Amino acid sequence: MRIEGADRRRVPARVLLRGEPDGWHCVVVDDSGAERRSDFAGAGIRWQTGRASDPEPPWWHRRLCETAEGLREAIAERLTDATFREFGAEAVITWFAVDEPVAWEGLVTLQEADPARFPGRVAPYVITLEPGRGALLPGADLLFSTQAPDAWTALATVAERCGTPPPKASLLCGWADHRSVRVGRGRLALSTDRGEDCVERLAEIFGTRGPGWSGNPEMRLRLDGVDLLDEPACDVVALFRDLGHEVVRRGRTARLADLLFSTQAPDAWTALATVAERCGT
């Protein structure tokens, strides 16, 4: 794609991601060879222990892989948003491992703007929450009576429908299993637990979406007609309090006991919404 009239010195061409002992950073290189460096907060690639002689644990390599994957995802989102603001185009990065998992290089190509950037062009992906019962998805229901294999099948169907990678499993304390998929730039996650009958069933539905553009498609988490992810969690809690629901706070989590629903905000502009466990929790 050619950008007419653009200052080509500002058009990104390559991206470098590096992990070092004291942290991670990325460098964006434009067509003229000029570089812009950004440093990421957080730990570096060196295993930190009380003794320098302590070896890296077996899981440390996997942790570095996950960190690098998350950073590549964040870089891609930031770069394409900046490119859209400046040029009205999307920046797509094709990544290559230089020294996996700590060194990566990405080649940048420009594409036409995603139609979901423009209101009304792409229908949102609406998840209707039914506290104590589950959630209604386009073409599927996720009820708390759903057994684990069927829940994972439904989650895989969501990923296929949204054109995103298949469900990703991760360890989450307190649950038998936990898997998630991307919906646009949001994430839908399911947790399962074993009941008294020893059958593993769906136990929690969790949705999150960061600030800025919501991706294609936009994920909406709807409860009683309210789009929970459109506003900061504190505003959502205030709304339901005004509607007469009892709010019980525990740290940064606010629980609406009568709805079996909780919401949490790690910062001012992200809302997380969770349908709590089956009745009685």
pLDDT tens column, 214-243 = 999 999 988 888 888 887 777 877 887 887
Separation between Cα atoms, residue 146 and residue 188, nearest integer Å? 16
- The answer to whether position 248 is within a domain reads yes
Please give the backbone phi and psi of residue 156, each rounded to the nearest 5 degrees, phi first. Answer: -65, -35
Structurally, the chain folds into a number of domains equal to 2
For 165-216, the pLDDT digits (tens) are: 999 998 888 889 999 999 999 999 999 999 899 999 998 888 888 888 999 9
Q: Which of 93, 113, 133 is the last residue of a domain?
A: 113
- The answer to whether position 280 is within a domain reads no
Closest to 116 in 3D by CA, of 157, 149, 84, 150:
84
Specify whether 102 is located in the same domain as 134: no
Instruction: Report the alpha-carbon angle 97-100-104, nearest 5.
Output: 40
| Inter-residue contact 153 to 140 (CB < 8 Å) | no
- The answer to whether position 2 is within a domain reads no
Specify whether 140 is located in the same domain as 93: no
- The answer to whether position 13 is within a domain reads yes
Q: Which domain holds residue 24?
A: 8-113
- Token pair for residue 88? 């009205």
Predicted model pTM: 0.81
Specify whether 142 is located in the same domain as 93: no
In terms of C-beta density within 10 A (0-12 exposed, 13-18 middle, 19 or more buried), how is residue 93 classed?
buried
| Inter-residue contact 57 to 47 (CB < 8 Å) | yes
- The answer to whether position 31 is within a domain reads yes
Closest to 239 in 3D by CA, of 219, 220, 259:
259
Q: Find the length of the chain.
A: 281
